[in-house]
Structure 1
Amino acid sequence: MSATVFPKAAPGARTFLSGGIRFCGWAWIVFAVLNLADLAWRGRDMASVVAAAVMLLGCGIAYTVALRPRVVADDEAVRFHNLLRDVRLPWGAIDRFEGGDAVYAYVGEERHRAFVLQTSPRARARTELKARREDKKLPEAVAEYMRGRTATDFTVEQLRELAAERKKDEGTPGTVTSAWAWPAIMALVVPAALTVVTIIIASV
């Protein structure tokens, strides 16, 4: 997990994302680009067209699943950029943040879940085991702070701190809004349709 500031983000915005998943996404895209270049250079049959369509579909999946998901916190709100939807939660509307297997924001009876930084019970167990192994290498205060914590836990902790700071300046609670992420939808639908069409044509 990393918290960083993107060049196009609003001033003071912090972005939480998974560095490991993003690496896998970019690795696939590089792999796909190299293969598409090879297909463009040597491919001369319908099988090459089908393979190219599958590569493009893989890029759409990599973007939607690995590169797009993030949590963005700015001066006005927290935004959950999930797979196919974006949720904007004004600071004043958020009752609390909770962790566990994912980052959750509670607004009254509603619970909003961030797709990025999800943690399975197995991953949490591995983190705790690794922390116990590293305890002897760290100062006691640092080891106590790190023990049993996952990237999800650290993100929730930072969001709570930001919420405490932002709510001091909040007036009206604001309204939670949700919208479809059309670039992500098109990144899946277009290459998927192209893949289906090319497979049908190749099988005729």
Structure 2
Amino acid sequence: MTPGNSTERPQYAPRAYRSASAIVSGVLLLALAAWLVGDAVYRGEGRAPWLALAGLLLGAPLVIAFTFRPAVFAGEERLVVRNPFRTITLPWSAVVAVRAGYSAEVLTEDAGKFQLWAIPVSLRQRKRAARRQSRVAAEDPFSRSTASAHSADAVHKPVRAWSDQAVDELRELAERNKENETASGEVSVRWAFEVLGPALAGAAVLAVLLLIG
């Protein structure tokens, strides 16, 4: 920002959202698949090794699509939503609302709504956050001890589930950047052929192996 120029907008670092539990699940699933396929290739007979390899070619891209791939990137000009099979680029001017019910979604005027796979809504996390907030509120906020003083401050700062916090941040970014001249444009959707291609190839090979008996 140029000194003395108050008309320039403040710049904020881009934000990225991913599900840590999904990434951990993806690592475990790929490790299990590699072990099973390796065992089938090493010990299997006849068509078993080929069936195992074809199954891996089909299954690995799907595991990656649903665990590693989902992400949400929020910058000053646009929101990029990377779902399992599609990447959606939404200028902030096209975003009508961001909400979290049973799933996190972004709504647009012309292109409809898109689910945010990278921000899964967990009812368990919501209940855990509500219980924690209740415990904090039950503590004595008038105690002079340092611990209770921090608890008293926490009463005024509601404990939220991670998904709800993320949606609140995206909603704030949408409101702040909606009138930004550089945040205009049309919604674009691109299919993830780098995921669909290998998965379809694996399905085709697996089908041929099963048909030829």
Task: Give the TM-score band, short-chain normalised.
Answer: 0.7 to 0.9
Aligned to 2:44: 43
Q: Secondary structure at the match of 1:56?
A: helix
Correspondence 1:142 to 2:154: yes
Q: Which moved more, 1:16-25 or 1:52-61?
A: 52-61
- Is the Cα contact below 8 Å between 2:26 and 2:63 reproduced in 1? yes
User: Which letter does structure 2 place at the counterpart of 1:71?
Assistant: V
Q: CA deviation at 1:175?
A: 0.8
Distance 2:183 2:56 in 1: 47
Q: Which residue of 2 aligns with 1:128?
A: 130
Change (3 A) 1:36 1:155: same
Map 1:42-191; keep pairs closer than 5 Å.
42-108=43-109, 110-119=112-121, 121=123, 124-125=126-127, 127-129=129-131, 132=134, 139-142=151-154, 145-147=157-159, 149-167=160-178, 169-171=180-182, 173-191=184-202
Compare CA radii of gyration and give the structure with the larger one.
Answer: 2
**Helix, strand or coil for the counterpart of 2:113?**
strand
- CA distances 1:124-177 after superposition (whole Å, capped 9, x unpaired): 445534654677697243365343x32221111111232344346434631111
State the superposition RMSD in angstroms: 2.9
> 1:123, 1:30 → 2: CA distance?
27
Residue 52 of structure 1 deviates from its aligned partner by: 2.7
Q: Is the 8 Å Cα contact of residues 101 and 152 (structure 1) preserved in structure 2? A: no
Deviation at 1:122, TM superposition (A): 6.0
Structure 1's unaligned 5+ residue stretches are 1-10
Percent of aligned pairs with the same residue?
25
**Whole-Å Cα distance in 2 between the matches of residues 56 and 62 of structure 1?**
11
CA distance in 2, matches of 1:141, 1:101: 30
1:78 Cα deviation (Å)? 0.6
Give aligned pairs, total.
191
Give the deviation of 1:65 after TM superposition: 1.2
Q: CA deviation at 1:18?
A: 0.8
The aligned counterpart of 1:195 is 206
In structure 2, do the counterparts of structure 1 residues 96 and 200 end up closer, same or farther at CA, with 3 Å as the change threshold? Answer: same
Q: Give the TM-score, by structure 1 length.
A: 0.76
Q: 1:78 to 1:192 in 2, by over 3 A?
A: same
Structure 2: runs of 5 or more not aligned: 1-11, 140-146
